[in-house]
Amino acid sequence: MISTGMYGIDDMLGGGIPDGSRVLYSLDPGVDGQLFMISTLYEALEQKKTCLVIIPHTTVEAFLHEVEHLRGHKIRPEEQGITFLDSSDRERIRRQAGKGGQMVNAWQEQIKKICTEKKIEVLFGYFDVLYEDLGLENGLSLLSSACCTKKSTVIVEHLNLDGDASLDLPEVRRAFDLILAIKASFQPLPHFNYFTILYTSWSTQLRRSVPFQVKSGHIVPYIPKIVVTGPPNSGKSRFVLNATALGVSVDRVGCDGPTVTTAMDFGWLHWQDFDITLYGTPGQPRFDAMLPGVLRNAMGAVLLVDATDREQLPRAKQLFKTIAKLHLPLIVAATKKDIPGVMGEDEIRTGLGIGKDVPVFPISALQKNDVRDVLECLVASITRIIS
Ligand SMILES: Nc1nc2c(ncn2[C@@H]2O[C@H](COP(=O)(O)OP(=O)(O)O)[C@@H](O)[C@H]2O)c(=O)[nH]1
Ligand SMILES: [Mg+2]
């Protein structure tokens, strides 16, 4: 087993990358994801594995410089059992072999030779230039199978310019044991990066997506937070409980018990590839001091308003203003639509002072389907990709 070198990701993979696996780190354009490959490289070197690093797009010097810049920490190739094939090797191979099949063979021989002589345990390959030079099939087979012994682990990075569908191609699936897609998502604010474990050959776990941050040269995954707020009695506890019950895999169910309304409601669900934590805030104004802390790092918010209770509107408006200041994706859910005589959407909009840009969902917080519609809309607005 080799470690990815990234906090949390080994756990998601069931302990790490099994020896002899072939791994693809697929980066979307514009995503801050070079540290995936580099973290795994540092970890392999740390574990004193012999490594071959194929960087046909750059020179060793430039690569080491870039890596040090990203990670904040040097690699010393002479001390660390690391061999490179870089842009000068690519030039040599191109000169000697010319185009087409001969070039594939020349690469293959070169890699094989190094793998045998140096007993390479982990091969790191940057794919894009090889793809350009050799084509998809040849490039893939070069990096994923042909060259080293069955026991060597192969880690490939590429910049995915062809979109998600290219990762579903049978030849791509066949070539790898783990495909990790690294993406960026945009809502005007906040921008966030996330990775999706698309496929592993060794486990049938749910495909899952996890946002990450880059902190001091390391990838740090984090669980997105959705805050559910609203005045007392607006249905927050019900909403969180029903949302959590919707999750495919439920770890923890609301820990505030059946009646307590002052404690936080807390739910966890697996939803559309994301692991989401729901935080239901206490609604009373005396807890307002908590709210900025709860909203920090939140990915979105749901504001609940009891549609049977006009007197709640000023308080709900206050909460709305607090959230609006943070530019978080926000949805208003007007609860208790199942009770006769509820306020209409216009009255709620006017009472809260909100425009058409904020969706208002009339719901019953007792109905899982209604709760699901709200979450669906919120997750869609959080993860909308600008195309
Ligand atoms: N009929 C109906 N009752 C609701 C709805 N939402 C909440 N309730 C009830 O309203 C009361 C307050 O809900 P609760 O979730 O505890 O509100 P919280 O104080 O915001 O956490 C409870 O008795 C719920 O069963 C709804 O949409 N329809
Ligand atoms: Mg409550």
What residue spans define the domains of the chain? 9-221, 225-383
- Asked if residue 31 lies in contact with residue 184, where contact means CB atoms within 8 angstroms, the answer is yes
Residues around ion ligand 2, judged by CB within 5 A, are 236-237, 261
- Alpha-carbon torsion (163, 165, 168, 171), positive or negative: negative
Task: From 227, 228, 229, 233, give the residue whose CB has the most ligand 1 atoms within 8 Å, as the site to mutate.
Answer: 233
Q: Assess whether the C-beta atom of 366 lies below 6 angstroms from ligand 1.
A: yes
Q: Which residues of 18-31 are buried (b: 16+ CB within 10 A; e: fewer)?
A: beebbbbbbbbeeb
Superfamily of domain 225-383: P-loop containing nucleotide triphosphate hydrolases (3.40.50.300)
Query: Kind and range of the H or E element at 84?
Result: strand 82-86
Is the CB of 237 inside a 6 Å radius of any atom of ligand 1? yes
Collapse the DSSP code of 174 into the 3-class scheme (helix H, G, I; strand E, B; otherwise coil) and give the result.
helix
Q: Is this model's pTM higher than 0.75 or not?
A: no
List the CATH code of the domain at 9-221: 3.40.50.300
* Ligand number, closest to the Cα atom of 232: 1
127-136, 142-151, 218-227, 273-282: segment of lowest average pLDDT: 142-151
Q: Which atom of ligand 1 is nearest to the CA of 364?
A: 27
Ligand 1 atom nearest 365 alpha carbon: 27
How do residues 244-294 score in pLDDT, each as one tens digit? 877 543 333 334 444 444 457 878 777 766 778 888 887 778 878 878 878
pLDDT in tens, 104-130: 889 999 999 999 999 999 999 999 999
Amino acid in the structure at residue 370: D
Report which secondary-structure segment, H or E, holds 25: strand 22-27
pLDDT at position 383 over 80: no
If 0-12 CB within 10 Å is exposed, 13-18 middle and 19+ buried, where does residue 98 land? exposed
Query: Ligand 1 pocket, 322 CB below 6 A?
Result: no
- Binned at pLDDT 50, 70 and 90, residue 100 comes out as low
How far apart are the CA of 257 and the centre of ligand 2, in A? 9
From ligand 1's centre to the CA of 165, what distance in Å?
43
Cβ of 339 below 6 Å from ligand 1: yes
